[in-house]
Amino acid sequence: MRFLLLLAVPLVVAAAQTSFDTDVKPVLARTCTPCHQPGGQMYEKLPFDKADVVRGNKEGILRRLKGEDNKTVEKWLAEATFEPARDSGSTPGSARP
């Protein structure tokens, strides 16, 4: 009976998809605070609470993360289906009147 439980747990873990909000964000909030979080010196340039910023800087980020943290972010990068970056404020070249 007990060995069945041991078999079942890794399956559940492997099947669970990582998500930016519940997996990646907490890692970066824990390890890269205060600088890359709201109020930090690098937040304007590299806000790590935004998925597309993290994806765009994946090499630099993975280089700085170790162990489980590194694996979590790597897994997310590999499997996540990214939503297109939401356009915030940028206007198309030819503005229609």
Which position among 23, 29, 43, 46 is part of the footprint of ligand HEC (CB under 6 A)?
Answer: 46
What is the closest distance, in whole angstroms, from the C-beta atom of residue 31 to ligand HEC in the complex? 4
- The answer to whether 37 contacts ligand HEC (rule: CB under 6 A) is no
Binding-site size for ligand HEC (CB under 6 A) equals 12
Query: Which amino acid type is present at position 27?
Result: V
Which position among 16, 22, 38, 64 is part of the footprint of ligand HEC (CB under 6 A)?
Answer: 64
- The answer to whether 36 contacts ligand HEC (rule: CB under 6 A) is yes
| Count of all residues that appear for the chain in the document | 97
- The answer to whether 16 contacts ligand HEC (rule: CB under 6 A) is no
